[in-house]
Structure 1
Amino acid sequence: MNQRNAFWDDLARDLQDPAFLRDYVVESLRIATIDDVVNALDNARAAAGLSKAELARAIHKEPATIRRLLSSDNANPTLGTVAEVAAALGLRISVEPISDAERHEITTSLLEGHTADPRGLAEHLDTLRARTTRSPA
């Protein structure tokens, strides 16, 4: 058995534990969501021709705050900071429903604490995280 299959098998086994499953799903979605939002903000900043320092000045923050937000591998911005940055870029942050397929796979797992296909869920969440991974600044 190769290491990749062993990893997925072990993860699928761990996902049988309702507490682990909930934590894994929530953390995976948190990472993917923050990465999506931060990438969109950084793309809008670049399209506007603003440096990170200029954007920081526009919202009365230290340049390091914006550098961390847009460049850190583990950014965890407050919603207030995200909303300020978005407004300075002519954007608004909104919430949208997830697809029916994801709702069934993800939301049901969170609400019920189990999934019929733990390996499929883990691979789906991995795909979400991989899709949103930021490239180095």
Structure 2
Amino acid sequence: MEVKMMVSAFWSDLAADLEDPEFLRDYVRESVRIATVDSIINALDDARISEGMSKAELARAIGAEPAVVRRLFAAGNSTPNPTLGTLVDLAAAVGLRIRVEPLPDEERQAVTEPLRTGRVAEASIKRLAQLRQTPGRGAVRPA
């Protein structure tokens, strides 16, 4: 019962915070960033494993320190923020290419509306929360 009240209080507080246009924009940007980086890192790690490469071998392939690649793929790591150049290098080493793609229709308005207007519809708040919890989206496709 107490946990349910805490969760309910969290969503109430979040809804109130999202009324501030600047907080809303930050929340949306961070939600999209987390989901996208997570998806790309997971796809790169899956491809690395499929290629039979160790993290150290992948690091050597792109001229990076092994510790950099280990940290990038570390489970439980706080969301990494690699450069686009690093992601492109890693992708190339495992036979992938990074691409930009349109957001699915069901996400598009939930993301673009608050960034453009500083306002969000109630239904979009739940969709934004799902972005942070849904791995597997991505801008990575086989070359």
More strand, by proportion? 2
Match for residue 49 of structure 2 among 17, 40, 46: 46
Query: Residue in 2 aligned with 1:114?
Result: 119
Q: Which runs of 5+ in 2 are unaligned?
A: 137-143
Aligned amino acid, residue 60 of structure 1: G
Partner residue of 1:95? 100
Aligned length: 131
TM norm structure 1:
0.89
Q: Report the residue type matching 1:50 in the other structure.
A: M
Q: Does the 8 Å CA contact 1:53/1:63 hold for their aligned counterparts?
A: yes
Q: How does 1:1-137 map onto structure 2 within 5 Å?
A: 2-71=5-74, 72-117=77-122, 120-132=123-135
Q: Do the aligned residues in 1 keep the contact of 2:28 with 2:111 (CA within 8 Å)?
A: yes
The AA in structure 1 aligned to 2:5 is N
Structure 1: gaps (5+ residues): none
Decide whether the 8 Å contact of 2:91 with 2:98 is kept in 1. Answer: yes
Amino-acid identity (%): 54
Q: Which has the higher contact order (CA 8 A, sep 6+)?
A: 1
1:70-93 deviation digits (Å, cap 9, x = unpaired): 113231100000000000001000
Q: Which amino acid aligns with 1:78?
A: T
TM-score, normalization: structure 2?
A: 0.86
Whether contact under 8 Å (2:61, 2:93) holds in the other structure is yes
